Amino acid sequence: MDLDLTGRHALVCGASEGIGRAVAHELALMGADVTVLARRADALAEVADGLPRHGAQRHGWLAADVAATDALRAAVEALAAARPVHILVNNTGGPPGGPASTATAAAYLDAFNRHLIANHTLLQSVLPGMRSAAWGRVVNIVSTSVREPIPNLGVSNTVRGAVASWAKTLSRELAADGITVNNVLPGYTQTRRLEQIIDDRARAGGQDVQAVAEAMRASVPARRFAQPQEIAAVVAFLCSPAAAYVNGVSLPVDGGRMQSI
Ligand code: NAD
- The total number of residues shown for the chain amounts to 261
Query: Could you tell me the pTM of the whole model?
Result: 0.98
pLDDT band at 134 (very low <50, low <70, confident <90, very high): very high
- Residues lining ligand 1, Cβ inside 6 A: 14-20, 38-39, 65-67, 91-94, 114, 141, 143, 186, 188-189, 191-194
Q: What is the pLDDT of residue 221?
A: 97
Q: Whose CA is nearest to atom 19 of ligand 1?
A: 65
Let me know: does 33 contact 47? Beta carbons within 8 Å.
no
Q: What is the pLDDT of residue 239?
A: 99
Instruction: Check residue 84 and report its DSSP letter.
Output: -
Higher-confidence residue: 127 or 201?
127
Q: What percent of the chain has pLDDT over 90?
A: 96
Question: Residue 28, Cβ neighbours under 10 Å: how many?
Answer: 24
Q: Check if the beta carbon of residue 226 is closer than 8 Å to that of residue 189.
A: yes
pLDDT at 158: 98
- What residues have CB less than 8 Å from 196, skipping those under 6 apart? none
- E strand residue ranges, the chain: 9-13, 33-38, 60-63, 87-90, 136-141, 179-186, 250-253
Atom index in ligand 1 nearest the CA of residue 14 equals 7
Contact 240, 26 (CB under 8 A): no
Residue-level pLDDT at 173: 98
- The rounded mean pLDDT for the chain is 97
Q: Sorting pLDDT into bands at 50, 70 and 90, what band is 123?
A: very high
Task: Please tell me the distance between residue 205's alpha carbon and the centre of ligand 1 in angstroms.
Answer: 24
Residue-wise pLDDT for 34-64, tens only, equals 999 999 999 999 999 999 999 999 999 999 9
CA torsion 218→26→193→124, rounded to 10°?
-130
Cα of 29 vs centre of ligand 1, distance in Å, is 22
Q: In Å, how far from its chain's centre is CA 125? A: 17
- Main-chain phi, psi angles of 207, to 5 degrees: -110, 165
Ligand 1 centroid vs 249 CA: distance in angstroms?
Answer: 21
Q: Give the pLDDT confidence score for residue 179 in this predicted structure.
A: 99
- Is residue 186 within 8 A of residue 143, CB to CB? The reply is yes
